[in-house]
Amino acid sequence: MTAIISPAAILGSQALQLKSLPPLSLYIHIPWCMKKCPYCDFNSYEVRDRSGGMPEAEYVAALIRDLEASLPQIWGRKVISVFFGGGTPSLFSPHSIDAILAAARALLPLEHLAEITLEANPGTFEAQKFADFRAAGINRLSIGIQSFNARHLTSLGRIHGDKDARRAVEIAQKSFDNVNLDLMYGLPNQTLEEARDDIEAAVAYGVQHVSAYHLTLEPNTLFHRYPPPLPDDELTADMQAMIEQTLARGGYAHYETSAFARSGRESRHNMNYWLFGDYLGIGAGAHSKISFRDRIVRQMRYRQPKEYLIRSVPETTSEPPIMEQHEVGRNDRAFEFMMNALRLTDGFAPQMFIERTGLALTHIQRQFDEAERRQLITRDFQRIAPTPAGRRFLNDLLQIFLPEQSRV
């Protein structure tokens, strides 16, 4: 059957024709947490009343209906990874996680030994609960440690202390052989030695993956309205260099701006994001990027959990609870690819840009030339990658590829 492309689609996407579709991941958003952290800009909501503030069973049913309604968009495509993000997904019971995964397996062709990640915070750890998560099919755990320092955890508004953080890692390692620790640096009044202590603690545990993020003051957060005293740029640059050196000595490869992994333990789910792969996002506020032969679309579900639940009721609609949807235009495809792929230390193969965007490399030849002239990238017929300067000044590098109409 020949696809019919409207004139508007031709104008909007320049008659995109993808020869093949990229890998597909599934993202599942669980928006509740025990307490909203002052630096967090994610779509998350505090559980003020456990009896009515987190309608767990109702939300699980809505997720499954959302997935069922979304099937026509991804019919027959194999799923390479699943990621439970939030919020704090580990607030849900193993029974609920098992029910969601059982539905996913029944509805989708899940790849054998697919990476299935659950985000967890130390304040939710119980040994039996996490053993049950593993039995349900979770095979990778990502723990939001942020710091092993009690004073810094307090300044970040975390509900756990330093002992909780260490206990969480120990419990996780009893059931999981693939553990990521999320850490932050550039914290209020943090010294270089305190940042070193956090990273060395992570290395000492021998986990498979470490994510080290620079604390940034995001709009619409408490820290943005009332900024805490943060280390200056010179000190945070020293922290970043120290983190990279410490993790390299510990046997971790720095494969993405904020990500470090032991050999073969890179996050498969996140790698798919960074290489402009596809992902179906279900749950309140979840985002999706889905490629078709003739277009690429982005979607966002309704953000508020109550509205998401209402929109997911089968009696009212058979469609996914999508609040916004738009087609990714020609220039935006190029920029979005570069914005993600240039975060990778090893960059990307030129052919992947062509396959994932439907564009020729000549579409952004001028930008490549400028980035190379400024010594921010290296390129040959096999690979295009950021230089050390390009990685350090990533925002400057990405600015080169920003569509003209978006530049200030």
Nearest to 213 by CA among 343, 339, 91, 303: 343
Q: What's the rounded Cα separation, in Å, for the pair 183 and 197?
A: 11
Residues 369-401 have pLDDT tens digits of 999 999 999 999 999 999 999 999 999 999 999
Mean pLDDT of 165-187: 97
Q: How do beta strands 287-291 and 296-301 pair?
A: antiparallel
Per-residue model confidence (pLDDT) at position 6: 39
DSSP 369: H
To the nearest whole percent, how much of the chain has pLDDT over 70? Answer: 94
Q: What's the rounded Cα separation, in Å, for the pair 391 and 42?
A: 25
Is the pLDDT score of 14 beyond 60? no
Show the CA angle centred on residue 190, arms to residues 185 and 191, nearest 5°: 105
**Which of the four pLDDT bands, split at 50, 70 and 90, describes residue 59?**
very high
CA dihedral 47, 48, 52, 58 (to 10 degrees): -20
Spatial contact of 160 and 123, defined as CB atoms under 8 Å apart: yes
To the nearest whole percent, how much of the chain has pLDDT over 90? Answer: 89
Which own/partner contact pairs does 256-260 have at CB distance under 8 Å and 24+ positions apart? 256/343, 256/344, 256/345, 257/343, 257/391, 257/394, 258/211, 258/212, 258/213, 258/214, 259/209, 259/210, 259/211, 260/209, 260/210, 260/211, 260/212
Average pLDDT, the chain: 93
Instruction: Write down all domains in the chain, each with its CATH number in brackets.
Output: 15-272 (3.20.20.70), 331-403 (1.10.10.920)
Per-residue model confidence (pLDDT) at position 40: 93
* Cβ neighbour number for residue 204 with a 10 Å cutoff: 10
- pTM strictly above 0.85: yes
Say which range, 41-55, 86-100, 137-151, 199-213, has the weakest mean pLDDT.
Answer: 41-55
**Using CB atoms within 10 A of its CB, is residue 193 exposed (0-12), middle (13-18) or buried (19+)?**
exposed
Q: Enter the tokens of residue 339.
A: 């914005």
* Cβ neighbour number for residue 127 with a 10 Å cutoff: 13
Is the pLDDT score of 13 beyond 70? no
Please report which residue ranges of 49-147 form alpha helices under DSSP H.
Answer: 56-74, 94-107, 127-136
Show the CA angle centred on residue 232, arms to residues 234 and 154, nearest 5°: 130
At 36, the amino acid letter reads: K
Per-residue model confidence (pLDDT) at position 317: 65
State yes or no: cis peptide before 87, omega within 30 of 0. Answer: yes
Say which range, 65-79, 183-197, 304-318, 340-354, has the weakest mean pLDDT.
Answer: 304-318
CA distances from 300 to 280, 324, 327, 337, 401 (A): 10, 5, 12, 19, 25
Give strand pairing partners of 142: 119, 180
Q: Enter the tokens of residue 4.
A: 């019919």
Give strand pairing partners of 209: 180, 261
Residues 136-148 have pLDDT tens digits of 999 999 999 999 9
Q: Enter the tokens of residue 81.
A: 């990874």
Residues 292-336 have pLDDT tens digits of 999 999 999 999 999 999 998 876 668 999 999 999 998 899 999
Per-residue model confidence (pLDDT) at position 405: 55
Q: Which residues, 6 or more positions from 224, have their beta carbon under 8 angstroms from its beta carbon?
A: 217, 218
Per-residue model confidence (pLDDT) at position 318: 80
Per-residue model confidence (pLDDT) at position 314: 75
CA distances from 338 to 37, 148, 204 (A): 31, 34, 35
Is the pLDDT score of 47 beyond 50? yes
Query: Between 15 and 60, where is the model more confident?
Result: 60
